[in-house]
Amino acid sequence: QVRLVESGGGSVQAGGSLRLSCVTSGYYPSSLYMGRKRYMGWFRQGPGKEREGVAGIYPGGGSTYYADSVKGRFTISQDNAKKTVYLQMNSLKPDDTAKYYCAAGFLPTDSKVLDSTSYNYWGQGIQVTVSS
């Protein structure tokens, strides 16, 4: 059974930085790979808001994808040997306050990398709070 576990959240003042980690354990069913590639994504859901895609990565090739709201401030990266995906968050703003989720999905193309409906596996989420 696949399990995703996030860590690294917390509280920080505006302008500060945090790094989230997502460790994967278990193995994905091989059937999910047929005609698809595995992507990893970070999503967030703030108070009273819908869940939104923040960043995505294709571990097989390293391609990365970002929401406009975080471009230039957030960086997604991976360590395949450790089965870990990271989200480095710099220049944090109060609007970044949310519960952040790590997810794994199998997509035929990268057109919906930041669409939460593309993802099959989710972590439990971790809180990030940015104060002004």
Task: Look at residue 53 in the predicted model and tell me its pLDDT.
Answer: 98
Q: What is the mean pLDDT of the chain?
A: 96
**% of the chain residues with pLDDT over 90:** 90
Q: What is the pLDDT of residues 91-102, one digit of tens each?
A: 999 999 999 999
CA torsion, ordered 100, 43, 6, 103, to nearest 10 deg: 150
With residues binned 3-state (H G I as helix, E B as strand, rest as coil), the percentages for the chain, rounded to 5, are 10, 50, 40
Residues 6+ apart with CB under 8 A from 28: 2, 38, 104, 106, 121
* Mean pLDDT, residues 3-11: 98
Q: What is the pLDDT of residues 26-72, one digit of tens each?
A: 999 888 888 999 999 999 999 899 999 999 999 988 899 999 999 99
